Amino acid sequence: MEAPLEPYFAEPDPAVMQFPQHVPLRNSPRAAFPSVPEKAAACRVAILGFGTVGSSVARLIAENPASPVRLTHIFNRNVARKRADWVPKDAQWTECFNDVLDSDAEVVVELVGDVSAAREFVRRALEAGKHVVTANKQLIAHEAGELLALARRHGRRLGFGAAVAGGVPVIAGILEGLAADKLEKVTGILNGTCNYILSRMEKDHVPMAEAVREAQKLGYAEADPSADVDGFDARAKIAILAGVALGVSVTPEHIACRSITPLAPLDFEYARELHCTIRQLSVAELKDGQVFAHVQPALVPLTSPLARVNANENMVVATGRYGGNTVFSGPGAGGAPTAVAVLSDVMAIARGHAPAPDRAMVSLPVTSVSRQRNYLRFVVDDRPGILATLANALAREGIDIDAVLQHPGHPKTRLPFVITTEACEADALARAADHFSQCDFHVEPPLCVAMVE
């Protein structure tokens, strides 16, 4: 659970989107905030949605009275139940969105969560001449081009640094800190909920279901955790990063996505024996005129920085042709970190300062990685010839076995073991899997997990 593409894309050509130039904020200082004159007008902000993130943004403003941001409105359904006495007294609470549109608020911060409602609010705010900041990754992943074009037509900005990696400033870091490089790949642990679940399974050997329940109690996971564990949340975020880092327009539904739910604590034991751990990885790579993108659980070498990402942290590795790997990491979930990212976008807009790369966004074919090593875990009702049957199925597709691992002490009626393969084509592995998944000795469906270098 977390709050895709670039905060400031421009209008499509139609297949190409450019980034708009600076748009000054009305009636607001242009200088960086540390040097804003004492009497300069504060940036007036309205918040839509007073949930975990919205209330955290309001608290950041309230606890920093010297901040160059002033909270003018809080919009929420059934707003009476949301009132808090620590909110600045001059902030107006309302259930009527027109109160926000008709106000002197300069920036509308959209944090309502629901994509359909958010779409309407963002459109109407931009049309009313408001700048908009949002943390809604699904909205941005699917409609950034149209919304950014709308923002440009009205001379406004749309910021969404909080839509990826919570409080980690990865979007600004890529656009500004890596602007001179030619980025070719972005790899990330983008879902703090999944990372918390996998970290608990690894550290304390708890089953998946128990780790999910703990994540729900802590507020990391929703009552229905499927968006997180099945990879849909991370898929939207890697689509955003593909636009920000690689300059390509990717529809999230075109990105291959695999769930972490088949994993068991046993898999972490075998992974450790292979000098690896398991993480949900999101990857987008620009190569040979194609975008290779996927979200999936993967065995990651313990020597990789990605293996050391724990609890609800996020990490993004941007790989450039000239600068090599640049790592961004930090808290990827939670109200306070996301609120920092939201308010940072507000401040950037108020300064009239925003990254404006000249990279075009183009549409390219999207496919998943076709060749990789694999971890295959089986749980079988043991009998002679099982290993030979599996080996023959792999051999028929030209797939070489790298290793076979089996720990003692398990009952013969439920015997787990692992086969790792050399790098092979995904289609070949799929054909082999179709064959051996039909065998009658399986107690559980076979599990296939990628092994990254």
The residues annotated with a catalytic role in the active site are 237
Q: What is the DSSP string of 269-282?
A: HHHHHTTEEEEEEE
Residue 449 pairs in a beta bridge with 375
Q: What is the DSSP letter of 17?
A: B
Tell me which H or E stretch contains 326: strand 324-331
Strands 183-189 and 313-320: antiparallel
Kindly list the distances between the CA atom of residue 205 and the CA atoms of 200, 263, 312, in Å, as whole numbers in the listed order: 7, 11, 17
Please report which residue ranges of 316-385 form alpha helices under DSSP H: 335-351
Distance CA 412, CA 398 (A): 30
Q: Residue 3, SS3?
A: coil
User: Residue 436 and residue 391: Cα distance in Å, rounded?
Assistant: 9
- Letter for the amino acid at 255? I
Residue 24 contacts residue 12 (beta carbons within 8 Å): no
CA 135 – CA 118 distance, rounded (Å) = 10
User: Alpha helices, DSSP H only, in 371-441?
Assistant: 386-396, 426-436
Question: How far is it, in rounded angstroms, from Cα 202 to Cα 265?
Answer: 6
SS3 289: coil
User: Please, are residues 439 and 389 in contact by the beta-carbon 8 Å criterion?
Assistant: yes
The one-letter code for the residue type at 186 is V
Inter-residue contact 390 to 402 (CB < 8 Å): no
Q: How far is CA 105 from CA 33, 122, 203, 342, in A?
A: 19, 14, 48, 16
Return d(Cα 285, Cα 362) in angstroms, integer.
14
> Could you tell me which residues come within 8 angstroms of residue 444 by beta carbon, excluding any fewer than 6 positions away?
378, 379
Take residue 50 and report the two structure tokens written for it. Answer: 């007073």
Phi, psi of 259 (to 5 degrees): -80, 155
- C-alpha 433/C-alpha 453 separation (Å) is 22
Q: Which amino acid is at 373?
A: R
